[in-house]
Amino acid sequence: MSDKPIIVFVPGAWHTADGFDQVRSLLTAQGYDSEAISTPSVGSADPDNGLHADIEYTKSVLKGLVDSGRQVVVVNHSYGGIVGAGAVEGLGYKQRVENGQTGGVIMVVWMGAFVAPKGLSLYNMLGNQWLPWMIPKDEEGYCYSSQEEVILYHDMTEAEQQKWISKLQPQTLKSFTEPAVYESWKDIPSMYIYCVEDQALPMVVQEGFVKTLNEPVKFHIDASHSPFLSKPDEVVKGLEIAVEAGQTAIEI
């Protein structure tokens, strides 16, 4: 086990945990342990598995790590920003130290991810309407993606695009309509990794999220919505900054 913080990835809608394999391999080479969450709402046989099920499951994984004394950096992508922010409630390092506990979350990172105030759902943040490339099936209880070559993976080869499109899973509608439960940035240090060429969440939207976070650490990657696939080396650079900033914050 590394004595460095463990880095935990929370994927966005439609995406499975193996999307972070390239980044995790690079982190291993740098001496970091890591995990990637498989959220219940992705590819679920039960459309009732929504945001709150994702938060509960993710929190159970994180709690196991912090209870073992580990410092944790949580990295959220896209919809995962709402999941990860909710899952760290009560798990912040400083909060736990005050309660005589060891371990805790030292940094929450949003990577091209939604920052949702408590009480708002992702659907609310879209203006209560689906984006043109989102395909809701109310009768099924699921939402599907489309136009992925442009929206999610435009800076990748056609072969890589098709590989990752084939891995996408249906996402429960409930994951988009249940409200956010916790504003982690009020208690735990934050970082935002901008995806400069993002076609799903344009820079103007990401900049709005950063304002909500109130002066987080910032890092820019000239990449699509999926830099963990197209620019994994740059993602690792950003995460090393996140680790340093998180460790500095708990020493103050």
CA–CA distances in Å: residue 26 to residues 30, 32, 127: 7, 9, 38
> pLDDT tens-digit profile of 64-99?
999 999 999 999 999 999 999 999 999 999 999 999
Please check the confidence at residue 3 and state whether its pLDDT lies above 90.
no
The per-residue pLDDT for 45 is: 95
Task: Say which residue the tokens 């291993």 belong to.
Answer: 28
Closest to 40 in 3D by CA, of 18, 24, 56 = 56
Please check the confidence at residue 23 and state whether its pLDDT lies above 70.
yes
Q: What angle do CA 176, 179, 185 make, to 5 degrees?
A: 110
Confidence of residue 167 (pLDDT cuts 50, 70, 90): very high
* Amino acid letter, residue 84: G
Closest to 202 in 3D by CA, of 136, 143, 124, 150 = 150
Q: Mean pLDDT score of the chain, rounded to an integer?
A: 97
